[in-house]
A and B are shown apart, each in its own frame.
Chain A
Amino acid sequence: MSHLIIRPRRLTRRNLLRSTLRGTLGGAAIAVGLPYLDIFLNDNGDALAATGAPLPRRFGTWFWGCGMNPKRWNPTRDGRVFDLPPELEPIAGIREHVSVLSGFNVILAGETNMVHRTGVIGTLCGGAPPSKTENNGPTLDVLISDAIGSATRFKSLEMAATGIATDTYSRRSEDAKNASETSPISLYTRIFGPGFSDPNAGEFVPDPQTMLRKSVLSIVGEDRKRIESQLGARDHARLDEYFTSLRQLERQFELQLSARPPLEACRAPELPEEGPVSRDVAHVKANHAAMAKVLALALACDQTRVFNMVFSEGASQLHQSGSSDTHHTLTHEEARDEKLGYQVEATKFVIHSMEAWATFVETLAGVPEGDGSLLDNCAVLAHSETSDANSHSVTGLPMMVAGGGGGRLRPGVHVFGAGDATTRLGLTLQQTMGLSVASWGWKANETDRPINEILA
């Protein structure tokens, strides 16, 4: 059985599946050898990575809302000897893994600063958007997952520690937002529940149910031309996106049906404990930490190579139990402490955010991979939609990059942007992830200058 080769007359996908199913498989699940899978279960023939292939490189974003106090967050010294002002102190334990970028702007160039939106879209999409619906995508992570996301089961994974599916910035456009997983358990179930096959399990048994589910998708594709003929250009593009998503799932099943090379660092995590999900900062931090653990092992098991974590949304509604305020309302309404010169209560949320970021980075660093850690093969962009939230400022946006980027990044430096566009970092990260892109962004935010200081 394991060396059986079938040559159907017409090699269409459906024929192939059909004759495969008819000719070779009985009712029960059957162990299938590799040559078989090579021929029948992988359309592209590249599902089986050669043993000893280089470790995958991953990209992620980590977002927190309502920024920081520039005077208390921005380092004053550049390069490797940078200082940690009070609001960066929480990252002391991970500073060797993180580069800090200050003084980079989303350049408005005549566009309106749409509060709590322009800053994040500008950094992720390449410029200040002209309206709430235009130029709102694709985001950096989508550009990168288009290039590297099809090698894994999930093109990307989105998570919101706030438990709200619409807390997400990952999007191809305003009308194609990638919804977030809303609890550690839902994240765990999606990745490690049914459909997960442990690459270290030894003998591989493809699930016939998965074969059927894959075959369903090829039937649906046959309908495409008839429907397309009825559509205008805009809806045509929407239907294209539907079919791209369908192909992605087909690919996902394909990967589930093929034996994967063993991955040393991969092990399924424990099922997370069910905890309360709310915007109470204590709950958010707990859920965030639990999601980070699940995600780290999902990456180690090569289930995805792109991820997006929202710790808190723009105009953050995180709040402290018992308070009538949210982080956002505090940034606008709390009086500055006369002696200290900043908003004491609002600033506590900045500290919470930096603590959570440190936890996230430590979690990735804690998974051994190859000669180092999982983090060595990641590039994670942490950012916010404002610097000073009180004035909705999009100048001097706080950004950090964690990880070694698979040998391409050299973390542990502070770079001052002197008013350059944040798109310089987006360009750098695309190049780090292997995209051949020479310039990025639009209008005043267009740049062809990567930030060499953070590169290895």
Chain B
Amino acid sequence: MLNETVFLVPTSYFVILSAVLFSIGVAGVLLRRNAILIFMSVELMLNAANLAFVAFARSLLDQGGQVFVFFVMTVAAAEVAIGLALIVAIFRSKRSTDIDELNSMEG
């Protein structure tokens, strides 16, 4: 069932790479204060998942994972639209995209 010639690079490499990308994304969310950069870090997390999906789909010889990637990409695009709109709205009121300035509610 598995076609030997397809597996030039082991799947685990892709998965490790995707885990690294994911971790970078997580770190970005935690460390960045600019809303846009946090947002980009989130996108990086999603794309890390996409990479894992494609890699698994290749090793499983199954299209399901690749289809999922399209869904994730579409959803990410929708998220971008909403996210940027929110950021613009906030920027209009606060003249800043620093996320730490958004702490009027606490406790």
- Whether A and B are associated in the same complex: the answer reads no
Binding site for A on B (CB under 8 A): none
Binding site for B on A (CB under 8 A): none
